[in-house]
Structure 1
Amino acid sequence: MKNFKDKECERQTRLITEGDIFEGTAGGARFMGKERPFVLTEGKNNLYAPIGEYVISYFKDNRISWWRGRRPTGHILSSQMACLNHLFALRKNPDAVLAMLNGIRNEFTEVLPITSDKDNGYIAFEVVSDSDYLNEGEPNRGSNCTSVDALALAKHKSGETWLIPIEWKYTERYNNQDKSMEDRPNESKGTNGKGNERMSRYTNLIDSSKQLKSLSSYQGSLYYFEPFYQLMRQTLWAEQMVSHKNQERLKADNYLHIHIIPNENDELLHKRYKVSGKGMEESWREMLSDQSKYVIIDPAKLLEPVKSLYPQLFTYLSKRYWDL
C-alpha cells in the first residue's frame, strides 16, 4: 500500500501535466543531484499565481532564507510552499485572519499587525526572536535557528496579547534518528559531540519550562527525536518570547501553538514512534503540562472559516492539496 507522501507525489505530478495549476511549468528540475519529475523547472510557479511576486519580494525585503536555496523551491511537496500557498493571501486581511484563528479556538477579539516585518501584515512567515534565548546564536529567519513557519498576534478575550506560532507539515515523516546521540562530522563514532551540544543548549530551558515536563535524563528522550525535537524548541521559543516581551518587538503575554497536519498523513500522525510506542499526538501531549496550549488541525479545516472570502484560493487549494 502506498503511503501518503507517495500518493501526493503521484497526484501532484499529474497536475504538472495538466498545466493550469503550475502555469504550464514542466517538471524535471534537478534536486539533490538528480532530475526529478516532481520538481518544477520554475520555482515561482510552485506558488499560487496571485501571490508569487509578492512572496518573493516579502522574502527579499525581510531577508528570509528559502528552503534549500536562494529561490522558491520547485519541489511540489515542500511544506514551506504549502504554508505560503494557504496563508499568504490572507496576511493583509485582519478580518480573515481573525476568523481563521477563531475557527481554531473562538477566544480572540482582534488581530494585531506583525511589526517585525518590513511590510506589516497580520501573518508573518519564518519568524524568529529579536535576540537569542535558546543558545543557538544570532537568529536568522529561515535558517540555522529555531523559527516558526507562520505567526499571528491576537488579542485574547481575557485582554492578554497572544502569540500564535504555526508549524506547517505536509508529507513529512520521520525516522528514528536520535539527535541527542549524533556525532559531529569527522568525529569518532559514538562521541556524540553534536548531540551533547544540543542538550547543553536546551536542558536548563526545559528544566525551567512551565509547559514542558522535566526528565531525569534527556539523552535518548523523546525531546530529541523528530517531530518532537522541533516542537520542543518551538515551545521553548514561545515561552521565551513571552518571558522577554519587554525586549522584543512582538510583545505577548501568552501563546497558542498550532500544528498543521493533513488528516491523511498517517505516517506522521499515527506511526508508532519507537521512542514512545505511541502515536504522534499522544506522545507529545504526555510531555505537556497545559494541553490547551497545543492544537493540531487539518489545513482544509483551518481555512474553512474564510472560504466565502477567497473562492479562487479555495479552488486552487482544493485541487492542489485537498483533492476535494
Structure 2
Amino acid sequence: METFEAMQKRQQSRFFAELGGEALMPGWPYRLIDERRSFNVAPMVREESKAYFEKHGIQWHRHANHALSSQVCCVNFLMPLARRPESLAALVQAAIGGERPTMLPVEDGVDGTPRYVGFEWIGVADHLREGSSSGSRTRGAHATAADATVRFECGGIAETLLIEWKYTERYGAPISKSGNATRTKRYADIAFWPHGPIRSDLELTLDDFYYEPFYQLLRQQMLAFHMQKMKEQGADRVSVLHISPAGNKALRKVTSPTLRRFGEDVFAVWKHLLVDPTSFVSCSTESLFGPLLDKAADDDVEWARYLKRRYAFLEIPDSDRKE
C-alpha cells in the first residue's frame, strides 16, 4: 500500500509540474530551485510571508523549497487567517470546543496592523534557557518554537495556543546522543511536576523522551507550562494544539521503547503523561479546515481552492473527517 508520504510526493509533483521544469531541481519533481523557492508559498500570502519573516527575524527552515515542508504548509494554511479573526475564532472553537472565542492580536504585521497568528513562536522570555551566551534567540532556528501561536479570550479567561503543525513527518530512531548531556542539563529540572508539565509518578527520565516526536512534544509542552506560569502576554492558560493529516498514520507510532507501555498512539500516550491532559489537544487537518474551506467567504475562495487543489487529502467525505 502506498504510504501517505509517497502519496503526497506524487500529488505535489503533479501540482508543481504546472510551474514548468525550469522551476524544479533536476531529478526532484517536488523540490524547487532556490530562485523559485517563494513559489512554495501560496500566492495570496507569498509577499506578506516574506516581509513578515524578515520583519520579525524569523528563519525559514532548510527545506523551505521542498513541497512537503511542514513549515510552508503551516504558513499556507494559517497565514491567510492572521487577518481573519472571525474565521480563526471558528477554527479555534472547532479545535478546543466551548463557546466561540474572541481572538486577540499576537503581533503587528509589516503594515503595522494587528496579526492574529504568529509564526515560529519562541515565547517572549527564554523560559527553557536556550539563548546564546549573549541571551539572543532566533525564531525558527536553534530554540524551541511552536510553528504558530494564537491568543484569545473566552469566558473571561485569556488563553494562548501553541500550534505544532505536521504534514508527512514520521519518526523511528532516537535523536542524536551527542547533545543529550546539554539537553539534560538544560531541561532536567523544568520538565517534571511540580516544576514542569510531565507527571513525576511514572518513573520516567529525560532519556525516555529523546525520540521524536516525543522530544518536540516535551519542549513545546514545557514552553506552554512556563509561559502559563509566568502569565506571559497576560495568558491565564497556555496549551498545545497539534494539527496533522488524519492519513499520516505513521506519525502516530510510539517511538520510545519505555513509553510503549502506555499505549500505541503517540498522542494518546502524550496526554497520559501530562499532569493536565487538557493542556494538549490533537486534531486532524481535515476536521479543522475541511468545513472552514467549504464555507469560505468571497475573499477566501481563491485560498480555499488553492489548498484543496494542492493538498488533495483535504478532499475527503465529511463522514471521514473525524479522527
Query: Where on the TM-score scale, by shorter chain, does this alignment land: which range?
Result: 0.7 to 0.9
After superposing the two structures, state which structure 1 stretch, 295-304 or 261-270, moved more. Answer: 295-304
Name the aligned partner's letter for residue 301 of structure 2: P
Residue number in structure 2 paired with 1:190: none
Cα distance in 1, alignment partners of residues 253 and 180 from structure 2: 27
Residue number in structure 1 paired with 2:318: none
Which structure has more helix as a fraction of its residues?
A: 2
Query: What is the CA distance between 1:217 and its match in structure 2?
Result: 4.8
Contact between 2:212 and 2:255, CA under 8 Å: does it hold in 1?
no
SS in 2 for 1:153: strand
Name the aligned partner's letter for residue 190 of structure 2: L
5+ unaligned residues in a row in structure 1: which ranges?
A: 184-193
Query: What is the CA distance between 1:251 and its match in structure 2?
Result: 2.3
SS in 2 for 1:76: coil
Q: Work out the number of aligned pairs and report it.
A: 296
CA, structure 1 residues 272+244, in 2 after alignment: closer, same or farther (shift >3 Å)? closer
Structure 1 residue 218 and structure 2 residue 205: aligned?
Answer: yes
Residue number in structure 1 paired with 2:45: 51
Deviations 1:127-154 (A, max 9, x none): 1122211121133211100111111000
| Aligned partner of 1:36 among 13, 28, 31 | 28
Cα distance in 2, alignment partners of residues 301 and 134 from structure 1: 32
Structure 1 residue 172 and structure 2 residue 169: aligned?
Answer: yes
Structure 1 residue 292 and structure 2 residue 278: aligned?
Answer: yes
CA, structure 1 residues 103+117, in 2 after alignment: closer, same or farther (shift >3 Å)? same
TM-score relative to the length of structure 1: 0.84
Cα distance in 1, alignment partners of residues 219 and 210 from structure 2: 10
Contact between 2:157 and 2:236, CA under 8 Å: does it hold in 1?
yes
Structure 1 residue 109 and structure 2 residue 101: aligned?
Answer: yes
Query: What is the CA distance between 1:218 and its match in structure 2?
Result: 1.4
Query: What is the CA distance between 1:26 and its match in structure 2?
Result: 4.5
Contact between 1:108 and 1:154, CA under 8 Å: does it hold in 2?
no
Cα distance in 2, alignment partners of residues 74 and 262 from structure 1: 21
SS in 2 for 1:106: coil
Cα distance in 1, alignment partners of residues 255 and 174 from structure 2: 14
Cα distance in 1, alignment partners of residues 157 and 21 from structure 2: 46
| Aligned partner of 2:246 among 255, 263, 269 | 263
Residue number in structure 1 paired with 2:182: 197
SS in 1 for 2:198: coil
Cα distance in 2, alignment partners of residues 24 and 301 from structure 1: 33
Residue number in structure 1 paired with 2:71: 80
Query: What is the CA distance between 1:39 and its match in structure 2?
Result: 0.4
Query: What is the CA distance between 1:195 and its match in structure 2?
Result: 0.6
Contact between 2:102 and 2:152, CA under 8 Å: does it hold in 1?
yes
Contact between 1:241 and 1:251, CA under 8 Å: does it hold in 2?
no
Query: What is the CA distance between 1:274 and its match in structure 2?
Result: 3.7
Deviations 1:159-202 (A, max 9, x none): 111001100000001122155xx12xxxxxxxxxx212101111
Cα distance in 2, alignment partners of residues 123 and 166 from structure 1: 10
Cα distance in 2, alignment partners of residues 225 and 271 from structure 1: 9
Cα distance in 2, alignment partners of residues 148 and 130 from structure 1: 12
Cα distance in 2, alignment partners of residues 316 and 178 from structure 1: 35
Name the aligned partner's letter for residue 251 of structure 1: G
| Aligned partner of 2:123 among 129, 139, 157 | 129
Q: CA RMSD in A?
A: 2.2
Deviations 1:17-65 (A, max 9, x none): 2x1xxx55755327xxxx5222012111111111101110010111100
Contact between 2:159 and 2:237, CA under 8 Å: does it hold in 1?
yes
Residue number in structure 2 paired with 1:141: 139
Cα distance in 2, alignment partners of residues 294 and 217 from structure 1: 19
Residue number in structure 1 paired with 2:296: 308
CA, structure 1 residues 293+107, in 2 after alignment: closer, same or farther (shift >3 Å)? farther
Name the aligned partner's letter for residue 15 of structure 1: F
Cα distance in 1, alignment partners of residues 228 and 21 from structure 2: 44
Deviations 1:186-230 (A, max 9, x none): xxxxxxxx2121011111111234632125451531x22110111
CA, structure 1 residues 163+253, in 2 after alignment: closer, same or farther (shift >3 Å)? same
Cα distance in 1, alignment partners of residues 306 and 187 from structure 2: 41
